[in-house]
């Protein structure tokens, strides 16, 4: 036999915020639960000075064409090969191949733009066609 739960009113714990008090505090001023306050609390405990060199190196490398060319090569390497197991979906290989090919083309075009190349050159025509750019 299953015991029935009693329908008793829920007791509020003293010292905890209730929905009513949270609403009231957000109306009267900045909320402790606002996205800005949450970000401030998260960043308060970080020591960004210890990671400054890594952050600067990452920012610099993300604007170098060689970085984007390397990303394009990685996406090309990730394209499915014959014999790869991709589950039971017969179209999975086509979808993954297309997604990786488009990502590789986007990376190559990004590198071309950073180098200052004319992306309307015939050497970029295949990548532009792949991403569906109107030329």
Residue ranges of domains in the chain: 54-81+89-131
Convert the pLDDT of each residue in 85-118 to its tens digit: 888 888 888 999 999 999 999 999 999 999 999 9
Distance CA 56, CA 43 (A): 18
pLDDT at position 36: 86
Convert the pLDDT of each residue in 35-46 to its tens digit: 888 888 888 878
Dihedral sign of CA atoms 64, 65, 67, 71 in order: positive
Distance CA 123, CA 135 (A): 14
Convert the pLDDT of each residue in 34-88 to its tens digit: 888 888 888 887 877 888 888 888 888 888 999 999 999 999 999 998 888 888 8
| ∠ CA 133-123-58, rounded to 5° | 75
pLDDT at position 68: 95
Q: Are 76 and 104 in contact (CB under 8 A)?
A: yes
């Amino acid at each position: 036999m299953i015991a029935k739960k009693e329908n008793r009113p829920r007791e509020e714990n003293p010292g905890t915020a209730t929905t009513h008090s949270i609403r009231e505090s957000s109306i009267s001023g900045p909320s402790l639960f606002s996205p800005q306050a949450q970000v401030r609390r998260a960043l308060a405990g970080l020591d960004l000075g210890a990671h400054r060199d890594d952050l600067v190196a990452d920012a610099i490398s993300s604007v170098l064409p060689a970085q984007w060319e390397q990303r394009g090569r990685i996406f090309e390497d990730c394209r499915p090969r014959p014999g790869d197991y991709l589950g039971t979906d017969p179209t999975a290989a086509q979808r993954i191949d297309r997604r990786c090919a488009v990502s590789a083309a986007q990376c190559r075009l990004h590198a071309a733009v950073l180098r200052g190349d004319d992306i309307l050159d015939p050497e970029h025509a295949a990548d532009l066609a792949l991403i569906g750019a109107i030329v």
